[in-house]
Amino acid sequence: MSLTVIVVDDDADSRWLNACALRMDPDIAVVGETGDGEAALTLVQQKHPDVAVVDVMMPRVNGLELTRRIKRQRPETKVVIVTALVEDAHRRAAYASGADDVLRKGETFEMLVPAVRAVAGGADRVKH
């Protein structure tokens, strides 16, 4: 059974790169991509993804607020936050919003698939 994932990032190149990394795993199906937090909520309602990969810095609805809304709407959807902000305070804010894991943008390509698999399998956080 495939894990279903949506990718949310306002930067088209980052969104494409994350989706490509995920598609390299035959057990992961990317069922939606968007650069907009409002559209992401619609994708969650329509696609019922196992995992949402969410960038923090986005216009209109930032990734932390989006994570809170996803968790209210569909708590079983796991959220992996991707951020360029690396300070501990930013990581704590991401976890406080309901994120299941947090990745730095610089480590995303090699860590994204293991993080998605880990949170979908019930792990609290990937050790990285």
pTM: 0.93
Pairing of strands 51-55, 101-104: unpaired
In a domain, 125, yes or no: no
In a domain, 85, yes or no: yes
Cα–Cα distance, 8 to 54 (Å, whole number): 5
pLDDT, residue 1, reads 60
pLDDT band at 124 (very low <50, low <70, confident <90, very high): low
- Residue 37 main-chain phi, psi, to 5 deg: -65, -40
Asked if the model's pLDDT at residue 20 lies above 80, the reply is yes
For position 27, which CATH number holds?
Answer: 3.40.50.2300
Over residues 79-91, the pLDDT tens digits come to 999 988 878 888 8
Q: Where in the sequence is the domain holding 50, given as residue range(s)?
A: 3-120
Domain count within the chain: 1
The percentage of residues in the chain with a pLDDT greater than 90, rounded to a whole number, is 76
